[in-house]
Structure 1
Amino acid sequence: MIKLGLIGRELGHSFSPEYFKKKFTALGEQNEYSYEALEFENWDKAERFIRQSGYHGFNVTIPYKKDAAKFCDYLDHWAEKIKAVNTLVTSPHGKVFGYNTDAPGFLQTLTDREIKVSKALILGSGGAASAISTAIKNQGGMSIIVSRSKKSGDFTYADLWKDESILRSTDIIINCSPIGTYPKTKNSPDIPYHQLNSDQILYDLVYNPPETVFLRRGKKAGCRTINGYEMLCNQADLSWEIWYSFVKEA
């Protein structure tokens, strides 16, 4: 049995376990692969589990993507640039390989919609935000990072309210934070929604619920909106390709 898992916190409503179980069944591989949600209260415990569990691969989610990158023996070109990983492979020799499929998964959603980003406003400063800003740079665009403190980003949320030009100068606003995720669905990022205009796109990496308060408020302002489900499927499929290639080569 090839054992795979998802490492993170508060994974009770995670998309990944059910998605991969359905995928294994569709491929006729349900007796060969397993996938479980694995919650850890801190990264040290997760790290020990990765080394000792006998699992063949993992997805990594909030809040451990940056910790996982520091832990790996090898990083792919995306992970090296982003300094965050969402996919791990453990080799029979004890080496851990890290990949970032968030960035190419996100870029594919833009390509499918023929969207070319010029200037993005990114809400959040974690591993997902790093992946998205790197992907946009790869496409030729630039990003502004908004965080709760200046230490983590270019601007704070308070700055957006003080200076209207920050938000209005961007063509896409991307929520890379977990704000609005089930079960706290009434929450939304604290941005000046009244400044939005119909030429802008609101993109939420949150996928549950399918339409967050963030997206609803953007739609009300006339913005085009995109939720995180398609990107999630893209990055999951890329993770599967990585695991599958390692298993076949082993």
Structure 2
Amino acid sequence: MKTYGLIGYPLSHSFSKKYFTEKFLHEGIADHQYELFPIEYITSLPGLLEVNPSLCGLNVTIPHKISVLDYLNEIEEAAEKIGAVNCISIKKFGNEIYLKGYNTDAYGFEASLKPLLKPQHDKALVFGDGGAAKAVKYVLQKLNIDYQVVVRKATNGAILYGDVTPEILKSHKLLVNTTPLGMLPDIATYPAIDFMQLDAGHLAYDLVYNPLETTFLTKAAERGAAIKNGLEMLYKQAEKAWDIWNNIP
């Protein structure tokens, strides 16, 4: 039996478990299982690996995407630059366990964003500066898209929502929400910007996928902007994780 799983805390629901369980069923992949491992502290990881010798790969979610770095033998270049890992390959060499960390969020975001980009999307506003924003900023840099981070509390390198002028909104045609604003059950919340400044040249991307259309996306669409939720990104990163676990030496 090959086991894959998700570590994080708490783990009340999981896209990954549903995705991989259905994948194994529909594709006739026998002797594979995907389990949830709710560990509150990353210090529990070595013990988890010891009592689950069939583990071949892990997904990593909050709050461990950064703290897990100290437990890895190797980190891919992208994950190292981002400073966060959400996928781990587990290889065994005799009695030794070798862990390599990856960031598939960046892959998923880039793969789902690129088909939508147009020439005017050369400047972006990134709402929020948490863990999810790390992968977004990495991809924007890779695509040579200038970006400005917008936050609610003052921090270096970012501006406050109150500082987002009409001129900034008109010149930054790509808007990316990396915050949980608008996620169920708080669906009425959204980044506090002046949506009246948006037009058909804007692209609003929300990493939130539950609900499929957040208030942020609805308000942007009302102004004629193109919109995209985070569901495809989620599927893309899951597909990348499977490839890492099975096809990358």
TM-score range, shorter chain: 0.7 to 0.9
Q: Counterpart in 2 of 1:37?
A: 36
SS at match of 2:155: coil
- Which residue identity is paired with 1:156? L
Q: Give the counterpart of 1:113 among 106, 112, 116.
A: 116
Q: Are residue 140 (structure 1) and residue 144 (structure 2) matched?
A: yes
Give the drift of 1:136.
Answer: 1.4
Give the drift of 1:69.
Answer: 3.2
SS at match of 1:95: strand
SS at match of 2:66: helix
The TM-score normalised by the length of structure 2 is 0.87
Q: Counterpart in 1 of 2:106?
A: 103
Aligned equivalents of 1:46, 1:147: Cα separation in 2: 32
Residues 199-243 of structure 1: CA deviation (Å, up to 9, x unaligned): 111101111111111111111122110011111111110000011
Q: Counterpart in 2 of 1:208?
A: 210
Look at both structures and tell me which one has the larger radius of gyration over its CA atoms.
2
SS at match of 1:94: strand
Aligned equivalents of 1:38, 1:179: Cα separation in 2: 26
Aligned equivalents of 1:91, 1:110: Cα separation in 2: 32
Contact 1:78 1:99 in 2 (8 A): yes
SS at match of 1:3: strand
Residues 153-205 of structure 1: CA deviation (Å, up to 9, x unaligned): 51123332xx3333332111111122222232222223333332221111011
Query: Structure 2, unaligned stretches of length 5 or more?
Result: none
The TM-score normalised by the length of structure 1 is 0.87
Q: Map 1:1-250 onto structure 2 (within 5 A).
A: 1-29=1-29, 31-46=30-45, 48-50=47-49, 53-54=52-53, 55-92=55-92, 93-115=96-118, 117-151=121-155, 153-160=157-164, 163-245=165-247
With over 3 angstroms needed to count, the CA separation of the structure-2 counterparts of 1:188 and 1:26, relative to structure 1, is: same
Contact 1:133 1:142 in 2 (8 A): no
Give the drift of 1:65.
Answer: 1.8
Task: Using the TM superposition, name which of 79-88 and 9-18 deviates more.
Answer: 9-18
- Which residue identity is paired with 1:181? M
Aligned residues: 244
With over 3 angstroms needed to count, the CA separation of the structure-2 counterparts of 1:100 and 1:212, relative to structure 1, is: same
Contact 1:85 1:127 in 2 (8 A): no
With over 3 angstroms needed to count, the CA separation of the structure-2 counterparts of 1:225 and 1:25, relative to structure 1, is: same
Contact 2:10 2:40 in 1 (8 A): no
Aligned equivalents of 1:206, 1:152: Cα separation in 2: 25
What is the identity percentage for the equivalent residue pairs of Structure 1 and Structure 2?
36
Contact 2:4 2:57 in 1 (8 A): yes
SS at match of 1:35: strand
Give the drift of 1:50.
Answer: 4.9
- Which residue identity is paired with 1:25? L
Aligned equivalents of 1:138, 1:237: Cα separation in 2: 21
Residues 39-97 of structure 1: CA deviation (Å, up to 9, x unaligned): 33344445653565433211112333222334322111211211111101222222221
Aligned equivalents of 1:115, 1:59: Cα separation in 2: 32
Contact 2:73 2:100 in 1 (8 A): yes
SS at match of 1:90: strand
Aligned equivalents of 2:85, 2:43: Cα separation in 1: 16
Contact 1:120 1:174 in 2 (8 A): yes
